[in-house]
Structure 1
Amino acid sequence: MVFLTISNLIRVRGPDEFWRKRRIFRLAAHFVGRRRNCYSVAVRNVHRALVYATKARKLKKQDMKDLWNTRISAACEQHNITAFTLKEGLDRSNIMLDRKSLSDLASWEPRTFECLAAIAKQKLQLDGFIDTVDKKYPTGVNLNLKDVMLEAWLKEKK
């Protein structure tokens, strides 16, 4: 490209502007109206969308944590044991399961969760642990290890 005057050279901003605008327009491709086509409007809306996306990543993690806690506490309530007592008993038994794993077991493997609750209760009884929430020994209804052993469950299935 040959420029006869310096004023024409100044007006051309080169390829950098094209690619800068292209990046914004690609991020705004799913918007409607001027938010998609007009650069100055698109820039504002893309920046706002990116801020919301950043905040939403943290909120999604918190939502999943709340869901897992709800599932665990509901399953613990069925077995008459608090979530804190369950976690304490599993920690003392060296069963290291995180919230997500316990939540999945509570939802999809209720027998396995029942066994874990029985193990936690048994370990806390052996240690003489008193729950700080209830101020009493954990009381699980029909949560003896003999009742929920794998062999009894396998016999029941056949």
Structure 2
Amino acid sequence: MKLAKGFKGRGGKIFSAAIQRLEKSYQHAYVGRKLKKRRFKSTWIMRLNASLRMYGIRYGVFIEKWRKSDVIVNRKVMSELAEKEPFSFKSVVDVILKTSS
């Protein structure tokens, strides 16, 4: 019942209803954690795509060349570079484009 504290109506007062509400809340929390990861990845991809378009490169083409190159950096780091360090991002992009060709 301590975990159900704050639930509205029967969900916080009746034991059987509290158990059901807690199980449902655990399910929502589990799904929410997965969705959070998905949203962050899509945000990183949007940032990368916008930054790459400034240099005339499409995201799909860049990812293909990135996989062929030996540069080991993830999308999160690349998107932060694109946002906060544009000159460093440009140099990494140039390295990826030169090594994959």
TM bracket (short chain): 0.7 to 0.9
Distance 1:92 1:34 in 2: 58
Residue ranges of structure 1 left out of the alignment (5+ in a row): 1-24, 128-158
Task: Give the structure with higher Rg (CA).
Answer: 1
Contact map agreement 1:85 1:120 (CA 8 A) in 2? no
Question: Partner of 1:118 in structure 2?
Answer: 94
Question: Partner of 1:57 in structure 2?
Answer: 33
**Normalized against structure 1, the TM-score is what?**
0.57
Distance 2:50 2:17 in 1: 48
Q: Identity rate of aligned residues, in percent?
A: 28
**Normalized against structure 2, the TM-score is what?**
0.84
Q: Aligned pair 1:48/2:24, yes or no?
A: yes
State the aligned residue count.
Answer: 101
SS of aligned partner of 2:2? helix
Q: Aligned pair 1:70/2:46, yes or no?
A: yes
Distance 2:79 2:2 in 1: 39
Q: Deviations over 1:5-29 (max 9, x none)?
A: xxxxxxxxxxxxxxxxxxxx12212
Distance 1:104 1:26 in 2: 41
Q: Aligned pair 1:38/2:14, yes or no?
A: yes
Instruction: Give the residue type in structure 2 aligned to 1:59.
Output: L
Using CA pairs under 8 Å that are at least 6 residues apart, name the structure with larger relative contact order, 1 or 2: 2
